[in-house]
């Protein structure tokens, strides 16, 4: 009975010692989290004012970034999207820092992995953002070139160009994130190989008539040019 | 102004042409079939109308592979056959390749350099592909500068009613409405200008832009007007020249010309914002009824270009014009190439002003913005051709004037949204 009592007291003391060690760390974690929320809120407030002053949403409308984001399924204005992204990024960073302060092996490993992964994450985000803007620009250029060449289904060409670039961008982003790079590479090769083969067969076999009409149109267009001097 | 030594200048000095009263520039590129006639006309014009002035003909060539420069030097003029007396000074001829961006503007830049280096009081430029140029053209382009103290002489031609559609529907009326001066052919191709204005042109850093290409003509005219120089125009008769290079892409040509107009509108806001209504500029020359060459028109191609635009570009247009305008474009498109296919001048003018505003506010990249205007321009042009099919040249000209008046009437719209 005495032995049982001693064992219990020893375990209780051990628990109290660990709790005494843990509680200050936990308090530190709570403080870090609270500080993170305050910093995130302050940064969000500052960004709200700066974005309003520089009219970020107007600029994004003019440059086509808004429509690129809209097409990507982001319905919020660009300024709100950036503010929320930065807000949650700061919260998550402080949360991970807070976790690390607990001094546990698991949280230490998790936090270091998280912070080591951050540069890759930012690179991937930048690739996606600029990729989308680039896709919008190139697809509109393709649309206008096709329209001014008199191609009936110019929108289809523009959409194909956009999809091609977006897929390329996502493949690059996944590569950057090191998410199954071999599978991504293989899937990408198979996908585009399939598209190229499909198009070759479609145009070469199924589209002989269309190709013939197209050639006739081009030849006819050359011979039926008017001789107006538009200048 | 410090002169940038160029091969052209070195050559001029080497030939002993250290100074000149008159410089006549001929930009060329593979024009061996026509340039001989142009050089003869210029030489005869200088001999007949300016026998006492020292003159130099400058051929600024873009690397012709058909012996165009050799033709310039080789061409001889039989002065006795056209009753010319001996000149006090011989007319020197210089042929030189130009440097920089390939295009007419770069060729002109070399001519401006030569004019500045030779201290010319009066200059003119004429295209190398002209078939209808006569010696009188040189008098009409140079005399207003030398004898009447004008700085800039624009050409005035008799043209086929279907010719010059970019000039008629955009360039002339916009220039007139903005700056208040009625210069009918602001990008005619032939111009006279003073040495003072040539120096002003040279001093501007525009030679890597569209001005170095097809934009040069409207740039020269606008800079002259906006710079407060004395401007006039001279009636030259009919302009008949070789067809443009069939390989030249209309979209590029349109983009360079209209893009230059829009850039100039942006640059000279302070000069045009206060101008209201418009006035004629002094016109020299004897106006007569000149026969013009018939013109083939491929209407189906134009209507189709417009229809394809309406089918595919509504999302792009929505960034530039209002919903009502897009609805109107669709309605017009439904009429095909029938007589009901009518693009009203009110809608057209509003559209062009919306594009000027969109250019100013950078709503789209310049190239995309201008590219999206091309199908609308085809629609307006096709509509004009259908409407003017039974018009005489005078009636067609009256329609151009009505369009120009509409631009003046709607200028307030542009100013309010600038």
The β-bridge partners of B125 are B25, B191
Torsion angles phi and psi, residue B125, rounded to 5:
-125, 140
Q: How far is A83 from chain B, CA to nearest CA, in Å? A: 24
* Paired sense of beta strands B152-158 and B191-194, if any: antiparallel
Mean pLDDT of chain A: 83
pTM of the model: 0.82
pLDDT higher than threshold 90 for residue B261: yes
Torsion angles phi and psi, residue B26, rounded to 5:
-130, 100
The C-alpha atoms of residue B192 and residue B149 are separated, in whole angstroms, by 12
User: B181: part of which helix (H) or strand (E)?
Assistant: strand B181-182
- Each residue's pLDDT tens digit, A187-223: 777 877 887 777 777 767 766 666 666 666 666 555 5
- Each residue's pLDDT tens digit, B62-85: 988 888 999 999 888 877 777 666
pLDDT higher than threshold 90 for residue B259: yes
Q: Is B16 left (phi over 0), alpha (psi -120 to 50) or beta?
A: left
Positive or negative, the Cα torsion across B9, B14, B18, B22? Answer: negative
- Cross-chain Cβ contact B250/A230 below 8 Å: yes
- Cross-chain Cβ contact B301/A226 below 8 Å: yes
Confidence grade of residue B174 (pLDDT, cut at 50, 70, 90): very high
- Each residue's pLDDT tens digit, A40-52: 999 999 999 999 9
- Cross-chain Cβ contact B166/A226 below 8 Å: no
User: A57: part of which helix (H) or strand (E)?
Assistant: helix A56-63
> What separation in angstroms does the CA of A159 have from each of A139, A199, B315?
7, 15, 13
Any domain includes A65: yes
CA dihedral A8, A10, A12, A15 (to 10 degrees): -140
pLDDT higher than threshold 50 for residue B192: yes
Q: What is the DSSP string of A82-139?
A: HHHHHHHHHHHHHHHHHHHTT--HHHHHHHHHHHHHHHHHHHHHHHHHHHHHHHHHHH
Nearest-CB residue to A148 (from B296, B363, B371):
B371
Contacts of B309 in chain A (CB under 8 A): 147
Contacts of A220 in chain B (CB under 8 A): none
Which residues of chain A are at the B interface, by a Cβ-Cβ cutoff of 8 Å? 62-64, 137, 140-141, 143-148, 150-152, 154-155, 158, 221, 224-231
- Cross-chain Cβ contact A221/B301 below 8 Å: yes
Q: How far is A174 from chain B, CA to nearest CA, in Å? A: 30
The helix-helix angle for B216-226 and B172-179 (nearest 10°) equals: 20
The C-alpha atoms of residue B285 and residue B137 are separated, in whole angstroms, by 9
Q: What is the largest CA-CA distance in chain B?
A: 68
- Each residue's pLDDT tens digit, B223-249: 999 999 999 999 999 888 876 544 456
The C-alpha atoms of residue B176 and residue B405 are separated, in whole angstroms, by 9
- CB burial class (10 A; 0-12, 13-18, 19+) of residue B311? middle
Nearest-CB residue to A144 (from B187, B305, B372):
B372
Contacts of A227 in chain B (CB under 8 A): 243, 295-296
The C-alpha atoms of residue B73 and residue B91 are separated, in whole angstroms, by 11
Nearest-CB residue to A152 (from B165, B187, B308):
B308
> Over pLDDT 90: what percentage of chain A?
23
The C-alpha atoms of residue A23 and residue A103 are separated, in whole angstroms, by 11
Contacts of A150 in chain B (CB under 8 A): 301, 304-305, 308
Number of independent structural domains in chain A: 1
Any domain includes A201: no
Q: How far is A144 from chain B, CA to nearest CA, in Å? A: 6
- Which of B130, B312, B364, B369 should be substituted to probe chain A, the one whose Cβ sees the most A Cβ atoms within 10 Å? B312
The C-alpha atoms of residue B328 and residue B324 are separated, in whole angstroms, by 6
Structural domain containing residue A17: 1-103
> What separation in angstroms does the CA of B234 have from each of A128, B11, B33?
59, 32, 27
Closest to B63 measured CA to CA, from B25, B24, B102, B36: B102
* Paired sense of beta strands B152-158 and B279-280, if any: unpaired
The C-alpha atoms of residue B159 and residue B143 are separated, in whole angstroms, by 23
Which residues of chain B are at the A interface, by a Cβ-Cβ cutoff of 8 Å? 162-167, 187, 189, 214, 217, 241, 243-244, 246, 250-251, 253-254, 257, 295-298, 301, 304-305, 308-309, 311-313, 316, 361-365, 367-368, 371-372, 374-375, 381
- Cross-chain Cβ contact A141/B367 below 8 Å: yes
The β-bridge partners of B238 are B158
pLDDT higher than threshold 80 for residue B395: yes
Any domain includes A68: yes
The β-bridge partners of B57 are B24, B93
Instruction: Identify the weakest region by mean pLDDT among A103-107, A213-217, B57-61.
Output: A213-217
Confidence grade of residue A112 (pLDDT, cut at 50, 70, 90): confident
Mean pLDDT of chain B: 89
Any domain includes A154: no
Contacts of A147 in chain B (CB under 8 A): 308-309, 312-313, 371, 374-375
User: Radius of gyration over alpha carbons of chain A, in Å?
Assistant: 29
CB pairs under 8 A between A and B: 88
Return the ∠ at Cα A89 (arms to A83 and A93), rounded to 5°.
145
Any domain includes A202: no
Are B316 and A140 in contact by the 8 Å Cβ rule? The answer is yes
Residues B21-52: b if buried by 16+ CB within 10 A, e if exposed: bbbbbbbbbbbbebbbbbbbbbbbbbbbbbee
The reported pLDDT for the residue numbered B246 is 45
The C-alpha atoms of residue A67 and residue A74 are separated, in whole angstroms, by 9
pLDDT higher than threshold 50 for residue B7: no
The C-alpha atoms of residue A51 and residue A45 are separated, in whole angstroms, by 10
- Cross-chain Cβ contact A227/B243 below 8 Å: yes
Torsion angles phi and psi, residue B8, rounded to 5:
-60, -45
Are B112 and B13 in contact by the 8 Å Cβ rule? The answer is no
- Cross-chain Cβ contact A230/B367 below 8 Å: no
The C-alpha atoms of residue A41 and residue B260 are separated, in whole angstroms, by 48
Closest to A87 measured CA to CA, from A147, A23, A34, A44: A44
User: B104: part of which helix (H) or strand (E)?
Assistant: helix B104-118
The reported pLDDT for the residue numbered B301 is 87
pLDDT higher than threshold 50 for residue A184: yes
Any domain includes A39: yes
Any domain includes A189: no
């Amino acid at each position: 009975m005495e032995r049982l009592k001693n064992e219990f007291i020893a375990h209780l003391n051990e628990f109290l010692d660990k709790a005494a060690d843990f509680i200050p760390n936990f308090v530190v974690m709570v403080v870090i989290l609270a500080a993170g929320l305050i910093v995130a809120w302050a940064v969000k407030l500052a960004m709200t004012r700066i974005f309003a002053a520089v009219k970020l949403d107007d600029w994004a409308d003019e440059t086509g970034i808004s429509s690129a984001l809209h097409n990507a399924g982001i319905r919020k204005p660009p300024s709100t999207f950036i503010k929320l992204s930065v807000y949650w990024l700061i919260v998550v960073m402080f949360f991970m820092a807070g976790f690390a302060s607990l001094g546990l092996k698991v949280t230490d490993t998790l936090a270091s992995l998280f912070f080591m992964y951050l540069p890759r994450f930012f690179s991937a985000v930048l690739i996606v953002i600029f990729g989308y803007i680039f896709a919008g620009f190139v697809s509109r250029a393709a649309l206008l070139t096709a329209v001014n060449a008199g191609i009936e289904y110019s929108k289809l060409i523009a959409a194909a160009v956009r999809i091609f670039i977006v897929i390329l961008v996502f493949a690059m982003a996944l590569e950057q994130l090191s998410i199954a790079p071999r599978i991504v590479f293989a899937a990408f090769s198979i996908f585009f190989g399939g598209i190229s083969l499909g198009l070759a067969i479609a145009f070469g076999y199924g589209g002989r008539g269309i190709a013939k009409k197209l050639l006739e149109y081009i030849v006819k267009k050359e011979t039926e040019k008017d001789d107006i001097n538009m200048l | 102004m410090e002169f940038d030594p160029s091969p052209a200048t070195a050559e001029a000095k080497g030939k002993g042409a250290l100074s000149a009263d008159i410089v006549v520039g001929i930009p060329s590129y593979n024009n061996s079939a026509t340039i001989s006639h142009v050089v003869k006309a210029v030489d005869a014009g200088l001999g007949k109308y300016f026998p006492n002035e020292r003159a130099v003909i400058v051929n600024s060539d873009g690397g012709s592979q058909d012996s165009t420069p050799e033709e310039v030097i080789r061409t001889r003029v039989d002065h006795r056959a056209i009753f010319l007396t001996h000149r006090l000074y011989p007319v020197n001829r210089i042929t030189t390749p130009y440097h920089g961006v390939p295009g007419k503007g770069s060729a002109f830049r070399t001519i401006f350099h030569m004019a500045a280096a030779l201290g010319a009081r009066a200059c003119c430029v004429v295209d190398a592909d002209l078939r209808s140029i006569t010696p009188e053209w040189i008098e009409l382009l140079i005399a207003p500068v030398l004898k009447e103290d004008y700085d800039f002489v624009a050409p005035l031609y008799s043209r086929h009613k279907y010719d010059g559609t970019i000039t008629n529907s955009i360039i002339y009326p916009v220039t007139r409405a903005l700056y208040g001066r009625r210069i009918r052919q602001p990008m005619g191709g032939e111009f006279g200008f003073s040495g003072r204005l040539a120096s002003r042109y040279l001093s501007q850093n525009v030679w890597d832009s569209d001005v170095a290409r097809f934009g040069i003509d409207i740039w020269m005219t606008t800079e002259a007007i906006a710079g407060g120089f004395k401007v006039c125009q001279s009636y030259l008769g009919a302009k008949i020249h070789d067809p443009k290079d069939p390989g030249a892409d209309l979209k590029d040509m349109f983009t360079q010309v209209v893009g230059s107009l829009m850039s100039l509108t942006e640059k000279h806001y302070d000069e045009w914002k206060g101008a209201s209504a418009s006035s004629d500029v002094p016109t020299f020359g004897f106006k007569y009824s000149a026969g013009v060459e018939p013109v083939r028109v491929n209407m189906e191609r134009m209507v189709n270009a417009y229809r394809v635009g309406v089918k595919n570009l509504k999302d792009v247009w929505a960034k530039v014009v209002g919903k009502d305008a897009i609805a109107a474009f669709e309605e017009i498109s439904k009429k095909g190439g029938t007589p009901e296919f009518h693009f009203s001048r009110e809608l057209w003018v509003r559209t062009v002003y919306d594009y000027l505003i969109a250019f100013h506010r950078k709503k789209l990249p310049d190239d995309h913005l201008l590219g999206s205007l091309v199908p609308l321009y085809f629609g307006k042009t096709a509509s004009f051709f259908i409407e003017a099919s039974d018009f005489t040249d005078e009636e067609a000209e009256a329609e151009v004037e009505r369009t120009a008046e509409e631009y003046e009437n709607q200028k307030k719209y542009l100013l309010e949204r600038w």
